[in-house]
Structure 1
Amino acid sequence: MQFSTSSPGRGVQLLCWSSVALDGFDLIALAVVFPVLLKGNVWGLTAATASVIAMIGLVGMTVGAIVIGSVAERIGPAKALVASVACFSVFTLLSAAAPSAILFTILRFLAGVGLGGCMPIAVAIVAAHRAGQGKSSSATTTLMTGYNVGAVLCALLGMFLIPWLGWQSMFVAGALPALVLVPLMIRYLSDPDAQGTPAVPVARSGRASRATISGLFRGVQLRATLAFWIATFMGLLLIYGLNTWLPEIMRAAGYSVGNSLAFLLTLNLGAILGYLLGGRFADRGGVRRTTIGWFAGAAIFLAVFALPLPEPILYAALFLAGFFVFSSQALTYAYTQKVYPNHLRATGVGWTAGVGRLGAICGPLLGGVLLTAGIAYPWGFYVFAIVGVLGAAAAWIVPAQAPQQHKATDDLPVAIDLTPRGSGTV
């Protein structure tokens, strides 16, 4: 599946952004309803079993990235994105009527399968549109604001809907956007190649040669590849661990459910500003320095958040933690595009995203372990701060300059291929 850099128009970009927002809404939905389910002893749920449910949903997203990427090769990215949104929305709606924890877990897995195809396809469309304009970092981070806007909306709705309509209302609210989004996508979203726009072909990832994959582990590329894997693993561990368990951690610290949701809202509001400024800093001052600085900032403010502080300062620290945590992960993806040479870039990004998904799965598990052990507050935040330090260290050991680039082709339109590479997923 190949996208050229033909401008898809602001409407198409907004549709892609909206599909990313569904990802943020879905993850925060679990963080919002878990305290209610645990407090009410619904289905006999415990912190450990809730962690398993969150993990199963992330496994579904991994499967979805592989399956939907393969289907998109045949039907086109536009139809694949429509199918992803529709699939996710149907199973999210059914989650509201789940009569047991087992069926709820199955539905979360199936919703994850649909959601797994949304972000990689949306990111690819926008990345292709901005390729060659010198703004690839800001394009990636701006698109990712959709994730946190969705998270903020979910946290706000949770404060008002759950007391009146119960936890089930969150999944109904998460499914309703499809009633508008799917028809708009069917009407306005199209494949760039279908418009006759020429593109510079790249190797289809399903046919990637062994030589291309092995190139990730040769010479200086080996250091870059391992460092990117560590950085994206740490970044996604922070994002998914905090977004899944922050309300419950704060409730364990003695705050009410309402205050806990306010903390979650503050975290994601900070993330939106971090995305917008992080990409611009990277475009102007260098993506390497910005990525290192953003991971380091995340570590500092996560550690500060564990200290006994007055409430206004506590909210400020959480806002700044969100500012650095989320965009450090987006900057890691932008960094890969600057380091890998042209013939390894697509394969390198695919493998980086695939390994990073393991961090997304481990994040909720780590939070659940800390809660089960009774040390989530304040020690859990020190653990998360160490994760941020490891992310910064990984970004630091990546080579500062891209190895050999082929300047003659750098200014040409870039075709982006979404077919899964081996075991890697986006």
Structure 2
Amino acid sequence: MKLIVDNHENNKHDPVMQRTSPRSSKNLAALVVAICWLVVLFDGVDLFIYGAVLPGMLDDPALGLTKEAAGTLGSYATFGMLLGALGSGPLTDRIGRKMMIIASTTVFSIASGVCAAAPSLGTFGLGRFVAGLGLGGLLPIALTMVAEFAPAGRRNLLIGSLMTAHQAGGILAATLGLWLLDSFGWRSAFWIGVLPLFVAVPLVAKFLPESLSFLIARGRLDEAREVASDHGVELPAAAAAKKSTLSLFRGGRWQPTLLFWCASFGGLLLVYGVNTWLPTMMRGEGYDLGSALAFLIVINLGGIAGMLVAGRVADRFGAVPVAAAWFALTAVGVYLLGVHMPLAVTFVVVFLAGVFLFSAQTMVYAAVTSRYDTASRATAVGSAAGIGRFGAVLGPWLGGQLMAAGNQGWGFTVFAASAVFATVFVLLAGLRSKEQLALAEAAGEPVGAH
């Protein structure tokens, strides 16, 4: 967390300031990351559980789900996430980041119960759409909280660490699919999705501190001082009021903003398309159901390793070059999945694809947090995540169309092409945002950490 003193003469005798230390800042960052990690874990489970139980849903004659309809149904949650991500910034301005995390977790937990009890595909689709509203609202705010509290030089590492929770959620979802499908049916997995309401929400309410920047911006100085005192950290300087999405297009920012949006679109099309359809596509390539679900576990294990590696590398070389390199390597890995290989070799390729696939998109978010100032950061991350959700909507739908036409082999090629698309745009976004940062610094404007 970057600590700034507003007025040294007024604050030097303040007990809050005297208790500030690097250790205090790191302890607070660890607390924030730990709590946000838990809620993002549940976010990941809820998000990926549909892909994990989809083979069982397709095999359920009472449900009457076709592959084409399954792709459309899978897009309902991602469309909800699009609206949730775009609306999270303005709503957070009103209720605060902590309350937004609580509200988002509550929404997707209740919606999971609706899916579990759904008497029809229409009700199930409504439940997935509502779940998406909560899922989409949660992640940008959790990322912004971690970026705000991160110690200097550790932002990318902590963002990568946070996003390992998403991949852990994918692993847990696939494990639940293996455990529950045969014995208890696909509905049981969605009943487990209600647990965050009783586990995560109380922990967030009790232990997660509110954003100091939010409290100060809202004039709630006494609360900000209380949080700072409780954790032994310094109050940040009063930041400019949070800016609207239109501010991302002023002062030459429109080019990097649009390019980051395009990169996020390609990255999320890839992430959600692969996570939704990987087990089904691998079954189409001749692997049995157990192996197909095991691939989902392995690709998310690779994702965890990739997040930690990418975060460390990005703290040294920058998030933009890492995102570009990771997307390019993802294109190779995903394309190779369409080649039938010995099972052991396939597992290695799936793992390596996961190493680069998920962390590439996370590094897009990390690049955005580093290229926009504090007042614009939450809006920039939320808009990149929100616009990127169009890709998240398209990915599952496109996979469904390919599966319905019997062209599952082309799915890997299409998703690999999406990775190439993202590579190009993240490189262009990095160049344009670097120019914009240089102009802002020359004009004496505040900029985010590079």
Is the pair's TM-score, using the shorter chain for normalization, greater than 0.5?
yes
Question: 1:78, 1:343 → 2: CA distance?
Answer: 18
Partner residue, 1:33: 53
Unaligned ranges ≥5, structure 2: 5-24, 216-222, 229-234
The structural deviation recorded for 1:66 is 4.6
2:260 is matched with which residue: 228, 238, 245?
228
Q: Does 1:321 align with 2:353?
A: yes
Q: Does 1:65 align with 2:85?
A: yes
The structural deviation recorded for 1:352 is 2.3
The structural deviation recorded for 1:399 is 4.3
The structural deviation recorded for 1:325 is 0.7
- Normalising to structure 2: TM-score of the pair? 0.83
Partner residue, 1:86: 106
Contact 2:115 2:190 in 1 (8 A): yes
Distance 1:337 1:85, change over 3 A: closer
Question: 1:376, 1:153 → 2: CA distance?
Answer: 25
Partner residue, 2:141: 121
Partner residue, 1:403: 438
1:147 is matched with which residue: 157, 166, 170?
166
The structural deviation recorded for 1:157 is 1.6
Partner residue, 1:112: 132
1:195 is matched with which residue: 210, 219, 224?
224
| 3-state secondary structure, aligned to 1:406 | helix
Larger Rg over CA atoms: 2
| 3-state secondary structure, aligned to 1:279 | helix
The structural deviation recorded for 1:222 is 4.3
Unaligned ranges ≥5, structure 1: 414-426
115-124 or 149-158: bigger deviation: 115-124
- Give per-residue Cα distances to partners, 1:112-159, cap 9 Å, x unaligned: 22222221221111110016x022222211111110101101111211
Partner residue, 2:417: 386
- Give per-residue Cα distances to partners, 1:267-297, cap 9 Å, x unaligned: 1110110100001111112323212110111
What amino acid is the match of 2:381?
Answer: V
The structural deviation recorded for 1:344 is 5.7
The share of aligned pairs that are identical, in percent, is 37
Partner residue, 2:16: none
Contact 2:373 2:447 in 1 (8 A): no
Q: Does 1:18 align with 2:38?
A: yes
Contact 1:4 1:128 in 2 (8 A): no
| 3-state secondary structure, aligned to 1:44 | coil
Question: 1:64, 1:286 → 2: CA distance?
Answer: 29
What amino acid is the match of 2:305?
Answer: L
Contact 1:141 1:276 in 2 (8 A): yes
- Give per-residue Cα distances to partners, 1:1-32, cap 9 Å, x unaligned: xx999664533321111111122111221002
Show the 5 A alignment for 1:191-340: 191=210, 192=212, 193=215, 194-196=223-225, 197=228, 198-205=235-242, 208=244, 212-215=247-250, 218=252, 221-340=253-372
What amino acid is the match of 2:119?
Answer: P
Distance 1:369 1:185, change over 3 A: same
Partner residue, 2:156: 137
- Give per-residue Cα distances to partners, 1:180-203, cap 9 Å, x unaligned: 222222221231333324333444
Contact 1:27 1:244 in 2 (8 A): no
Distance 1:324 1:412, change over 3 A: closer
Show the 5 A alignment for 1:346-357: 346-357=378-389
Give the total of aligned pairs.
405
Distance 1:80 1:234, change over 3 A: same
The structural deviation recorded for 1:254 is 2.0
Q: Does 1:174 align with 2:210?
A: no
* Root mean square deviation of aligned Cα: 2.7
Q: Does 1:359 align with 2:394?
A: no
Contact 2:76 2:129 in 1 (8 A): yes
Question: 1:168, 1:14 → 2: CA distance?
Answer: 30
Distance 1:42 1:239, change over 3 A: farther
Distance 1:284 1:67, change over 3 A: closer
- Normalising to structure 1: TM-score of the pair? 0.87
